[in-house]
Amino acid sequence: MKRKNRMLLLFAVAHMFLLPNISAEAKTKPTLEARKQTTAVGQKCQLKLNGVSGRAGVKWKTSNKRLVSIAKRKGNTVTFKTVKKGKAVVTATYKKKKYQCRVTVKAGKKKKPAADHPVLNSSDVTLYYLSEEYKDYITYDSSHLREYRFWVSGTRKEVRDWKISGDGADYFDITDYGLLRMDWGPAYVEPCVTATVTAVLEDGRKLAAAVRAYSEVNIYIDKLFADFEKRYITPSMTTKEKAEKAAWYISTTSDYELYNYNWIDIFLKGRGDCYASRYALQYLCNYMGIKAVACRNLDDHGKTLLYADGGFYVIVTGFNEPKPRPYGIYEVSGTALEDLAEKNKFDLDYFRR
């Protein structure tokens, strides 16, 4: 009997502690966290029915799916997406009672179209060709560009095609991704070649850049000629004496090499045949402002015609001997001059101008 009384007493005490909680729960009424909501088109918004369990069986719906659509329902919470400008009502139904939120959807800010101003990364590019054959014989500026990569920015349009045009177009090559390279270098008589690179966009627009090219060998040859003139030529020398000194320089710095007719080898490799020697003399004289032209006829071994101090002279270089090789110079006029000019297609008026 005593045990039964103790159990009743414990039950009564527990009941006293539980009563306040039951009362508190009973006093908590479900409410929407917002009765009005303003948002913009294209936004996702969340709405919660407070005062109920997260797993409560709350039914959600929208009054106008074209304006506000339900994206996700999860117990006492709903996620809706605004679709179009206007007003709609989102309703939560719990235990047959409805709770409403009026949603006002305003027009969203229009995105400004992205700027479309295509530009090339450079409008003017200079390349320098370096010959594999001569790169070990010359000094050159390693910072010079050998190739250049073009690209277009400021647009989403792709480049449909890369093109090269102009007088010097044959010297260049460009890949389908805009890498500009050189196939060979300019000749000494044409030290700079120019062309135009054009990027053709997929919508037909074109962007152009000027390109030019020089040869490292030509630059080095000019430095060598400048050094020769500085070391061996004086203001008091006559034109003939300057030309003779050029012939002496070629004969004392290069060996004869049969069938090597490349005049550049005379200066860079120190060898060449009589054909190479006469052109080497022509270009060295021309550098000093002397009108000299190598004989084109192969029978005129080592002969170069020049006009100096009011007269015509023939300088003979390229004798078949090791350096220092002999050279000769003699004046030519009358029939001998006319025959030489005819045989080599010379315009004598060019020399006198």
Using CA atoms, how far apart are residues 301 and 312, in angstroms rounded to an integer? 18
The residue that leads in pLDDT, 151 or 19, is 151
Identical fold for domains 28-106 and 119-218, yes or no, is: yes
SS3 letters for 104-153?
Answer: EEECCCCCCCCCCCCEECCCEEEEEECCCCCCCCCCCCCCCCCCEECCEE
The DSSP bridge partners found for residue 305 are 293, 314
- Where does residue 315 rank: exposed (0-12), middle (13-18), buried (19+ CB within 10 A)? buried
**Over the stretch 207-261, which tens digit does the pLDDT of each residue have?**
999 999 999 999 999 999 999 999 999 999 999 999 999 999 999 999 999 999 9
- Three-state DSSP at 287 gives helix
Which residues share a beta bridge with 47? 78
pLDDT band, residue 11 (cuts 50/70/90): low
Token representation of residue 317: 């270089």
> Which tokens in the block code for residue 328?
């000769």
Reported confidence tier of residue 76, pLDDT bands at 50, 70, 90:
confident
Q: What confidence tier does 21 reach under pLDDT thresholds 50, 70, 90?
A: very low
What contacts 267, CB < 8 A, 6 or more positions away? Answer: 221, 224, 253, 254, 280
- Judged against a pLDDT cut of 70, whether residue 1 lies above it is answered with no
- Cα gap 341→335, rounded to integer Å: 10
Strand bridging mode 206-215 / 193-201:
antiparallel
Task: Identify the band that residue 12 occupies on the pLDDT scale cut at 50, 70 and 90.
Answer: low
Region 156-161: mean pLDDT is 95
Nearest to 68 by CA among 48, 41, 93, 47: 41
Angle at CA 289, nearest 5°, toward 294 and 191?
75
pLDDT in tens, 181-203: 999 999 999 999 999 999 999 99
**Any idea where the domains of the chain sit in the sequence?**
28-106, 119-218, 233-352
The span from the CA of 47 to the CA of 277, in Å, is 95
Residue % of the chain over a pLDDT of 70: 92
pLDDT-derived band at 96, boundaries 50, 70, 90 = confident
The number of beta carbons lying within 10 Å of the beta carbon of residue 104 is 16
Q: What is the pLDDT of residues 34-69, one digit of tens each?
A: 888 888 888 888 888 888 887 888 888 999 988 899
Closest residue by Cα to residue 228 from 302, 281, 305, 306: 281
Q: CA-to-CA distance for 285 and 281, rounded, in angstroms?
A: 6
Residue 346 in tokens: 């010379």
23-37, 99-113, 246-260: which has the minimum mean pLDDT? Answer: 23-37
Q: Are 59 and 95 in contact (CB under 8 A)?
A: no
> pLDDT for 277-323, tens place per residue?
999 999 999 999 999 999 999 888 899 999 999 999 999 998 888 99
Query: What CATH fold (topology level) applies to the domain 119-218?
Result: Immunoglobulin-like (2.60.40)
Whether the pLDDT of residue 28 is over 50: the answer is yes
pLDDT for res 31: 86
C-alpha count within 13 angstroms, C-beta hemisphere, residue 210: 5
Grouping H, G, I as helix, E, B as strand and the rest as coil, residue 78 is strand
Region of 95 please: left (phi>0), alpha (psi -120 to 50) or beta. left
Alpha-carbon distance 286 to 251, whole Å?
18
Say whether pLDDT at 119 is over 60: yes
- On whether the 28-106 domain is CATH 2.40.160.50, my answer is no
* pLDDT attached to residue 152: 97
Note the pTM of the prediction, 2 decimals: 0.68
